[in-house]
Amino acid sequence: MKANHETVEVNGRRYARPSAPVVVVCVDGCEPDYLTQAIRAGVAPWLAHTLEHGTSLIGECVVPSFTNPNNLSIVTGVPPAVHGICGNYFFDAARGEEVMMNDPAYLRAPTLLARFADSGARVAVVTAKDKLRTLLGEGLSGICFSAEKAGEATLENAGIERVPELVGLPVPSVYSADLSEFVFAAGVRLQETRRPDLTYLSTTDYIQHKCAPGALEANAFYAMVDRYLSKLDAMGAVIGLTADHGMSAKTDAAGRPRVLYLQQVLDDALGPGAARVILPITDPYVVHHGALGSFATVYVSPGPLAQARECLQRLPGIECVLERETAAARFELPPDRIGDLVVIGDHLTVLGTRADRHDLSGLTVPLRSHGGLSEQLVPLVFNRRLEGLDPGRRLRNFDVFDLALNHARSA
């Protein structure tokens, strides 16, 4: 029986079976400073204690610093070059059309969650938005549902039913902090009632897009996170907290969004139709960022690649413009799913297509977003000391399961 084996191997990495329940939390858009400021404000006592007595490290997320590529990296333990998900949205060259990358058919590697479940572990996954549910739950025999569609979970489609009753909270609005609270509350109730061996909780960055670290609403969010994590800790769980990416203000000093409309620039320089700009941040939920992030890809060939590259490179606010192979190698991306050029904005700048294609009317506060290199550093926090860790090792957010399962010292 597989279930007797001490370890589970997935995508070339080996994970020890948990001796205590392991809960990995991906706090969407959690720039490390959010934790620092909440602790300084005195609203996150559990985190304060954990950062002192457990482990506090900084790791790198995957670029593009977007939600789906990073969540999939975390649950597969490998970069997008292996698992294939490099955005929310991409240009499917084989089909000749721009499509969402939500379909598990685009996933090229199994998740460690599915493999652990296959080997007899009890696994539970709770996401905030439904867009991630099918990817994270691919091949998984266990519990998997989103807060957004918690009311629709059935034994058949989610491995669990009557979720709102179990959690004791109403199904929240998709644009709210309550959506993330529901995820944590569900994680605690699952721990109380079913005690899964492995739990993955993934929130939404609604608050982080709106509020800087230390803002009242941000601190209230982390106070909420702190309350639920302390409950999981009290139940004996090994907790690993990381983020899919950081978050930066993307504005000038007057608070106006600093946007480069790349399709407009390329149409003016090369003539309309010569280049196609794809924004992989695009998804059905764009109210809080207007589909503006700091990462874009451009399809040029057959066309004036060098000219396109040159005209983008000299724009103020551009961090770098890389050709496909260079970008794929540097950021570990699948070359067949990115354009001929990868364009990255600097820490104050986001990239759009054309001004008339972005609805910024939903932006009631100065734009904050992500996608670039400037949002690459994220927290790796554990409520245990880690042992046997090479101090020179490059840490990634997708090492979080390795660190929690293979390196966390027992309590």
- Whole-angstrom CA distances from 58 to 13, 38, 108, 252, 301 are 21, 17, 28, 28, 39
Q: Which is nearer to Zn ion, 24 or 311 (CB)?
A: 24
Q: How far is the CB of 205 from Zn ion (least distance, A)?
A: 4
Q: Which is nearer to Zn ion, 197 or 205 (CB)?
A: 205
The number of angstroms, rounded, from the C-alpha of 173 to the middle of its chain's C-alpha atoms is 20
Q: How far is the CB of 370 from Zn ion (least distance, A)?
A: 6
Q: Using the rule CB under 5 A, give the single segment among 101-109, 154-162, 242-250, 317-325 that binds Zn ion.
A: 242-250
CB-count exposure of residue 268 (10 Å: 0-12, 13-18, 19+):
exposed
With b for 16 or more beta-carbon neighbours within 10 A and e for fewer, the 356-372 pattern comes to eebeeeebeeebbbbbb
Pick from 138, 148, 181, 244 the residue near Zn ion by CB under 5 A.
Answer: 244
Q: How far is the CB of 309 from Zn ion (least distance, A)?
A: 27
**Per CB under 5 A, 346 contacts Zn ion:** no
Task: Indicate the SS3 state at residue 378.
Answer: strand
**Per CB under 5 A, 283 contacts Zn ion:** no
**Per CB under 5 A, 31 contacts Zn ion:** no
Q: Which is nearer to Zn ion, 62 or 171 (CB)?
A: 62
**Per CB under 5 A, 130 contacts Zn ion:** no
Are 103 and 337 in contact, with CB atoms under 8 Å apart? no
The pair of three-digit structure tokens given for residue 97, joined into one six-digit string: 């059309």
Pick from 17, 28, 118, 396 the residue near Zn ion by CB under 5 A.
Answer: 28
Q: Which is nearer to Zn ion, 18 or 293 (CB)?
A: 293
Pick from 205, 226, 332, 375 the residue near Zn ion by CB under 5 A.
Answer: 205
Quick one: DSSP state of residue 251? B
Q: Which is nearer to Zn ion, 21 or 59 (CB)?
A: 59
**Per CB under 5 A, 202 contacts Zn ion:** no
Determine the Cα angle at 207 with ends 137 and 58, to 5°: 70
CB-count exposure of residue 273 (10 Å: 0-12, 13-18, 19+):
exposed
Pick from 67, 73, 353, 383 the residue near Zn ion by CB under 5 A.
Answer: 67
**Which residues of the chain form contacts with Zn ion (CB under 5 A)?**
28, 67, 205, 244
